[in-house]
Amino acid sequence: MNFSSKKYVYFAFIWHGFFLAITVAMLDLNTVFPTLITKLTGNKIVFGALYSVMLSVPLVFNVVFSHLLKKKTHKKKYLLLGMYLRGLSFLGMAVVTYYFALTNPSLTVLSFFFFVFLFSISAGFAGISYTDIIAKSVTKKERASLFSIKQFFSSSGAFLGGLIISRIFTFDTVFPTNFATSLFVGFIGLFIASLGFVFLNEKPSVIDEDNTYSLKEYIKAIPKTLKKDESFKYFIIVENITGFSIMILPFYMVFARESFNLGNEYIGIYLLVQTVGTIFSNIVWGIVANKLSSKHVVMICIILGGINPILALILSQTTPVYFGIIFFIIGFMISGRKVGFSPYLLDLTPNVKRVEYLGIRGSLNVLVVVLPLLAGVLITGLGFVPTFILVSVMMVVAFIILRRISDEQACEFC
């Protein structure tokens, strides 16, 4: 088999996406993880802090990682290392949950900060490596198609993961073995997912020979890069603001549990509904990306991110069944962000500076560092209603700014 052929490249990314989706479902941030943390501690601020660590750590270190990786022509080994470390973090959480969740929940939560940090920091250099490999392996015209196909299989994997989660929590109602089981399945899934890349023959990256900055000079040059490239600057601003819609995703499950006094059976139900939304959305996103552009996918995602909080407040006055619509829309948003934001960024990125741009993009997503923690503070202090309304307002702001990135600006750096 030709491990550098276009067919194998597609196979590697689809294989990885399918099994990674199963893994992610085992600790789904919008259903499983909130429920586990709620059982260990009812403190919403602690949960917000954990979520902040999970989202922010890879972004905070991205400039450092990009500085190290920009001189590397081959990055596959860094991708695999990151995946293996993430697998070990799942295993660690599974073991600690199984042995200490009942006897010492505080220790369990404390250990989660370490394992989530390990999970997240390994995602930093793995994410840069992954994006660089996909960008140099697939042409610009093929990217939207690959992302759409990959997302379809990822959604199928997520649906299978939802079925596994539903079965675990339906037939194993004993805490904490049910959560420990799901985490262990996630550990196995990550190692299977890595096999797609083990045999991939990676093309060498184009190295910018003139870029020999030290890390200090590299960081100092960031403002100049943003000033020179307005499209990239506005992209960074928009992605930061859309973090407001991301920050409340795990709190929808908490809101539902408090509104309807739900049991664990709804973890699997809502996860399946979310996955169905993700699968169905792939058809929509594929059409939008191919007929229009990745930018239009981002626009629609922002609109959905603004509508969902208000809709959640309305549906909380109905029944748990109708509230499932919220998770269906979340599926659309999760899928759309993957199909929209990354390809759109690659459209804006000069090839020789791709790794540099990815690092800057990651590390300047500063709001992701504080927003989940802020969500916990706001919901604890003000309640769900003001917090949800704030998110909707910020999505309007993000949409207005995104419209300032013209197609001419984007094409200038294609």
Angle between helices 140-171 and 265-291 (to 10 degrees): 170
Residue type at position 356? E
Position 185 scores a pLDDT of 93
Position 2 scores a pLDDT of 57
Residue 183 lies in a domain: yes
Residue 208 lies in a domain: no
Position 211 scores a pLDDT of 57
Running along the chain, 414 residues long, what does each successive block of 10 average in pLDDT?
72 91 83 84 76 70 72 84 91 95 93 90 79 79 74 83 85 85 93 89 73 69 83 88 86 89 79 86 81 86 94 94 94 85 80 75 72 82 92 94 68 38
- Quick one: CA dihedral 13, 288, 237, 376, positive or negative? negative
Residue 207 lies in a domain: no
- CA 340 – CA 338 distance, rounded (Å): 6
Domain tally for the chain? 1
Residue 210 lies in a domain: no
Cβ 12 vs Cβ 200: under 8 Å: yes
Position 316 scores a pLDDT of 93
Residue 155 lies in a domain: yes
Residue 209 lies in a domain: no
Position 147 scores a pLDDT of 74
Position 412 scores a pLDDT of 38
Query: 226 is in which domain, residue-wise?
Result: 6-201+215-412
CB atoms under 10 Å from CB of 307, counted, come to 14
Residue 107 lies in a domain: yes
- Stated pTM of the model: 0.67
Encode 285-334 in three state secondary structure. Answer: HHHHHHHCCHHHHHHHHHHHHHHHHHHHHHHCCCCHHHHHHHHHHHHHHH
Residue 324 lies in a domain: yes
CB atoms under 10 Å from CB of 128, counted, come to 28
Q: What is the CATH number of the domain that holds 363?
A: 1.20.1250.20
Q: How many residues does the chain have?
A: 414
